[in-house]
Amino acid sequence: MTLDPKDWDAFRTSAHAMLDASIDKLANAAEGRVWTPLPEAEKANIQANLPIQGVSHDVMQKQLESFLPYGVGNTHPRFFGWVHGAGAPSGLMAEIAAAAMNVNAGGRDHVAPVVERQVIEWSAEIMGLPADTSGLIVSGTSMATIIALKVARDQAMNTAQGQLVGYTSTQTHSCAAQAFDILGLGRDHLRKIACNDALEIDVHALQTAITADKAAGFVPFLIVGTAGAVNMGAIDDLEGLAEIAKAEGLWLHIDGAFGATAVIGEHARARLTGLSRADSLAFDFHKWLQVNYDAGCVLIRDEAAHRGSFSDRPEYLHGSERGLAGGAFWAVDYGPELSRGFRALKVWAHMKEHGVEALAAVIDRNIEQAQYLENLVKASPKLEMLAPVPLNICCFRYKFDGDNDALNEEIVVQLQESGIAVPSTTIINGQLAIRVNLTNHRTKESDLDMLVEAVLRIGGELT
């Protein structure tokens, strides 16, 4: 009458078979195609009628195993699309433990809040923020941004009357404008400031905009700086933004989705000192730190402000000095989710098992690889760079006298469909770029050689 297996030994056999198939996949992550479209037969299996009767563990194990080849492809060393981390096999162990515990990490006195709070403290230390910095483990930077900007909004509304406005650059990730929309501030009230040639926010233009808005009766309350812009990796002048925020009394939020974590390495650290001056900071563990999806973090300097924006526990969530309703850190006081899995466990285990030194080596190597690729592009008369390479992203294209955008889009589609490599595309200064993002611990220089060869071959065939 329970949902437990009728035969535990048979279940154990199926579960171990599932684990072996999963480890086989990861042990061979560098082999074969990067991305393989889902076959129609698999699709039909998934799109079944609402199941009234169940199936055996054995049948389910084979079904799940059959899905393994049809993911996004980001475990493969030649996945260069968007900003996807590759994950690590060690994540399997943490996910198994978390599934067996099945905790709701919304609050109460058990292992999960202790682990989560420790991850937040490690994160604050890495970013140069005080040890008592507040924070929360979330699904990713989009959620982190909503939480951070709500706290900033609430603080501003405590003291100011009038229409709040914020500032960011044209290169900032869309999650900042979306947070303005969700929070009822209105997308248009996040001003998009122009960038310099390095695609960093123009600090003088920012100051001019703030002054103009104040003169027009708006209430500036927020600057959103970027540490690693999604298009090509630009890092804003964070120290410059911190100075303006201080002088103007504004909240400084930094979107460091992948870029902020480069502070643990050598190559970008000097440009990331301003992280320590943020009022709030959003970043992901599942990108450049290679934690399995999904896991991000919001850090907020002012714990009371953070708690004040989310803590409003009703009677059925009443805490207690003793018993299970005790515990110092209740996540529900710091974010909108009351039910939450034990996401912090895989982050804690990943950092503990690999250590910061090995994670930093991956980051620095990816930055070197982006420069290696830039050199390959510059060495080829058929290719041209479309943006500088400040971090780990290389935007280039195949040269063509005709419809450049259509040609390069087709090259990317053919690369993906061939299974050879997965870059993505973006638009830089109005031109479509082949965008190669390196946030993958499995990528080797030879993978980049293979990519460039394939781009030249496909480009040649198409022109």
Contact set for a second copy, span 208-267 (CB under 8 A): 230-231
Counted residue by residue, the chain has a size of: 463
Give the phi and the psi of residue 237 in degrees, each rounded to 5.
Answer: -75, 85
Q: Which stretch binds a second copy (CB under 8 A): 103-111, 241-249, 298-306, 378-386?
A: 103-111
**What are the residue ranges of helices labelled H in 184-274?**
203-215, 238-248
- List the one residue from 205, 361, 454, 456 that touches a second copy (CB under 8 A): 361
393 Cβ neighbours under 8 A, 6+ residues apart: 231, 232, 233, 370, 387, 435, 436, 437, 438
Tell me how crowded residue 20 is: count the other CB atoms within 10 A of its CB.
Answer: 11
State the DSSP string of 149-193: HHHHHHHHHHH--S-EEEEEETTS-THHHHHHHHTTS-GGGEEEE
Task: Tell me which of 202, 255, 284, 333 binds a second copy, using CB under 8 A.
Answer: 284
Pairing of strands 190-193, 424-428: unpaired
Quote the least distance from Cβ 266 to a second copy, whole Å.
14
Least Å distance, CB 301 to a second copy, is 19
Interface with a second copy (CB under 8 A), residue total 161
Residue 223 in tokens: 């600057």
Q: State which of residues 442, 447, 451, 459 lies at the interface with a second copy (CB under 8 A).
A: 442
The residue written with tokens 């579960």 in the block is 15
Q: Report the residue number, 42 or 248, with the smaller CB distance to a second copy.
A: 42
Instruction: Tell me which residues in 374-433 interact with a second copy (CB under 8 A).
Output: 409, 412-413, 416-417, 422, 424-427
Residue 35 CB, shortest distance to a second copy, in Å, is 5
The verdict on 130 binding a second copy (CB under 8 A) reads no
Binding mask 163-202 for a second copy (x = CB under 8 A): ----------xxx-xxx--xxxx-----------------
Q: Report, in Å, the least distance between residue 64 CB and a second copy.
A: 4
* Residue 72 within binding range of a second copy, rule CB under 8 A: yes
Cβ closest to a second copy, residue 96 vs residue 194: 96
Q: Are 300 and 132 in contact (CB under 8 A)?
A: no
C-alpha 163/C-alpha 177 separation (Å) is 16
25-64 residues in contact with a second copy (CB under 8 A) are 25-27, 29, 35, 37-38, 42-43, 46-48, 50-57, 60-61, 63-64
Q: Is 351 in the site for a second copy (CB under 8 A)?
A: yes
Decide if residue 81 touches a second copy (CB under 8 A).
yes
Is residue 383 a contact partner of residue 455, using CB atoms and an 8 Å limit?
yes
Query: Under the criterion CB under 8 A, does residue 328 sit at the interface with a second copy?
Result: no
> Which residue type is seen at 341?
G
For a second copy, the binding residue among 198, 317, 385, 456 (CB under 8 A) is 317
Q: Which stretch binds a second copy (CB under 8 A): 16-24, 192-200, 212-220, 271-279?
A: 16-24
**Rounded CA separation 150/222 (Å):** 11
293 near a second copy (CB under 8 A): yes
What is the closest distance, in whole angstroms, from the C-beta atom of residue 271 to a second copy in the complex?
A: 22
Q: Of the candidates 32, 130, 162, 355, which one interacts with a second copy according to CB under 8 A?
A: 355
Report if residue 461 touches a second copy, rule: CB under 8 A: no
**Is-contact 272 235, C-beta < 8 A?**
yes
Q: Are 128 and 326 in contact (CB under 8 A)?
A: no
- Identified binder of a second copy from the candidate list 155, 290, 366, 369, rule CB under 8 A: 290
**Residue 150 vs 267, nearer CB to a second copy:** 150
Orientation of helix 343-379 relative to helix 91-101, angle to 10°: 150
Residue type, 337: E
Among 294, 303, 368, 405, binds a second copy (CB under 8 A): 294
What is the C-alpha to C-alpha distance for residues 397 and 385, in angstroms, rounded to an integer? Answer: 7
